[in-house]
Amino acid sequence: MTADTVMKKIQGGGSVSVYDACNGFGQVAASAAIDECMKTASENGIGAVGIRNTNNFGTAGYFGEKAANNGMIGIVMGNAAPAIAPPGGTKAILGTNPICFAFPSPETEFPIVLDMATSNAARGKIRLALRNGEKIPLGWALDSNGEPTDDPAAALEGSLIPMGGYKGFGLSMMIDIMAGLITGSAYGGEVKNLNHPNSYSRNGNLFIVIDPTFFISKDEYDLRMKTLIENIRSCGEPGKVTLPGEIEYNSYLRSVDSINLKDTQISDTNKLAASLGIGKELVPAERKGGNK
């Protein structure tokens, strides 16, 4: 990975652009791409920006939300290192390739955001379980022999179970084609993990932004979104139904003052910071006098 994120324009025509992120930071590249995509969408109603040779952008939802907060619909896709096997196969070939759809929602305090891995569980959750010495639920992963496992280490050596079986693998393949194959990035099992010792990751991304005012007026959009949310919330007891993005928003609100970290995460971070001679020591909240 390179420290500077240079965005080199490879292609540009009509409502489409393709950039080479030159192995820089995924977050920086994705942020620039969604900005350009919003500009194109505001001019033409819909726009697409592809990125080749980037790195893991962290969370797809962040970039989708950027579009939604500007009144637009954001679609974000990224391919990732091999983690899931195809129907009928045992070898992991495609990533847990995330896809995000984000929509402005003036009636709620948060935009409507679906940000999902195409596996039953995101790889990050399995890495976290490994770090915390916890088991994972059966149904998340297979070991390298294709057998169900609750051991996060065996899961990371094996393959993750795609959501909805063949449908999840199919979605992962669609994302691999749109984010990796057509952008000229790595695809088909070539993407590497961020911490690979000898190779760049070469993730690919595709961003599609739609300006809904090319379809209906902003007032109509706002009114219809309000109705949709009321209708969905009325399908259960008051307060019981959750909307896509709602749990994440509530978790964000809880994190404004302090972030819920395990002891091992705190001590690992402090050890790393000390070894590099940087940063302030992380302190558990209760030692600071009971912050939530």
Site for its own copies in 151-190 (CB under 8 A): 163-164, 166-168, 170-171, 173-174, 176-178, 181-184, 187-189
Q: From the CB of 66, what's the least distance to its own copies, in Å?
A: 17
Site for its own copies in 93-152 (CB under 8 A): 93-94, 101, 103, 112, 114, 116, 120
Residue bearing tokens 């993407």: 191
Residue 193: Cβ-neighbour burial (10 angstroms; 0-12, 13-18, 19+): middle
H helix intervals, 212-262:
218-233, 246-254
φ/ψ (deg, to 5) at 13: -165, 140
* CB nearer to its own copies: pick between 156 and 178: 178
Site string for its own copies, 68-97 (x = CB under 8 A): -----x-----------xxxxxxxxxx---
Q: Count the residues of the shown chain that bind its own copies, applying the rule CB under 8 A.
A: 72
* CB nearer to its own copies: pick between 214 and 279: 214
Output the six-digit token pair for 137: 């639920």
* CB nearer to its own copies: pick between 232 and 273: 232
* CB nearer to its own copies: pick between 167 and 254: 167
Site for its own copies in 193-212 (CB under 8 A): 208, 210, 212
* CB nearer to its own copies: pick between 217 and 264: 217
Contact 152, 134 (CB under 8 A): yes
Q: How many residues does the chain have?
A: 292
Output the six-digit token pair for 198: 């000898």
Interaction of residue 51 with its own copies, rule CB under 8 A:
no
Cα separation of 55 and 27, whole Å?
8
Site for its own copies in 214-273 (CB under 8 A): 214-216, 220-221, 224-225, 227-228, 231-232, 234-237, 240-244
Q: Could you say which of 5, 7, 18, 80 contacts its own copies (CB under 8 A)?
A: 18
Contact 187, 181 (CB under 8 A): yes
Q: From the CB of 209, what's the least distance to its own copies, in Å?
A: 10
* CB nearer to its own copies: pick between 24 and 98: 98
Residue bearing tokens 């001590």: 267
Strand partners, 209: 47, 74
Cα separation of 41 and 222, whole Å?
19
